[in-house]
Amino acid sequence: MIIGSVVLVLSLAIGITLAVIGISTTSGGIKTIEVFDSGSGGVAAEEGDVLQLYKEAGTSDPSCRITGPSEGAVGEGTIQTSATTVDGEQWQSFDSVTAHEAGVYRVDCAGTPVAVGPPVSLVGIFGAVGGILLGLGGGFLGLVLLGLGVLLLVLRKREVRE
């Protein structure tokens, strides 16, 4: 009975904590996405930051030019693709770059609306899903163990009476 209670409480506490951290990590990245309706703008980045470029869902990939604070500041991005929602609009990634130095990076997509920000956090998504599954699975296991403990306690008390 005690083991069931401990498993139940720990799995729920750890599961909820992981889910909250995962969800806040993922939503934190979404809040830092900047939308440039005119197709051009500047984004501040630190050295090593990955800037993912997003297009409106269902549109063709725009032709964009990205310039950094100096020559050679713009590097290859990741191969990760992602989709996100910003202010109710669906956006799909089409390109990314890595900032080799801190500064403002200019994006020019020739008038096509574009959004720029970090890639969607896969760690955050897996953390949220894992936390939810841990909470549900561990909670169920804890309830089963708790139920078995109570049942065994009742059966022992009956044996003592007889």
Give yes or no for residue 23 having a pLDDT over 70.
Answer: no
Give percent above pLDDT 70 in the chain.
89
**Alpha carbon 154 to its chain's center:** 46
In angstroms, the CA 107 to CA 101 distance is 16
Give yes or no for residue 155 having a pLDDT over 90.
Answer: no
Q: Given this model, what pLDDT does residue 24 score? A: 65
The pLDDT tens digits of the residues spanning 62-106 come to 999 999 898 888 888 877 778 887 788 888 989 889 999 999 999
The pLDDT tens digits of the residues spanning 96-152 come to 899 999 999 999 998 889 999 887 656 666 777 777 888 888 888 888 888 888 888
162 burial (CB, 10 Å; 0-12 / 13-18 / 19+) is exposed
Domain match, 71 and 38 both: yes
Domain match, 82 and 25 both: no
Q: Whose structure tokens read 């996100």?
A: 84
Domain match, 137 and 156 both: yes
Q: Torsion angle of alpha carbons 63, 68, 70, 72, nearest 10°? A: -60
Domain match, 73 and 144 both: no
Domain match, 131 and 89 both: no
Write the CA distances from 43 to 1, 66, 112, 122, 144, integer angstroms: 56, 10, 17, 22, 53
Domain match, 91 and 142 both: no
Number of other residues whose CB lies within 10 A of the CB of residue 148: 13
Domain match, 60 and 99 both: yes
Give yes or no for residue 157 having a pLDDT over 80.
Answer: yes
Domain match, 26 and 84 both: no
Task: Indicate the number of domains in the chain.
Answer: 2
Query: Which domain range does residue 73 map to?
Result: 33-117
The chain-wide mean pLDDT, for the chain, equals: 82
Domain match, 67 and 130 both: no
Q: Given this model, what pLDDT does residue 30 score? A: 47
The pLDDT tens digits of the residues spanning 25-50 come to 555 444 578 889 888 899 988 898 88
In angstroms, the CA 6 to CA 139 distance is 10
Domain match, 134 and 160 both: yes
Model confidence band, residue 54 (pLDDT cutoffs 50, 70, 90): very high
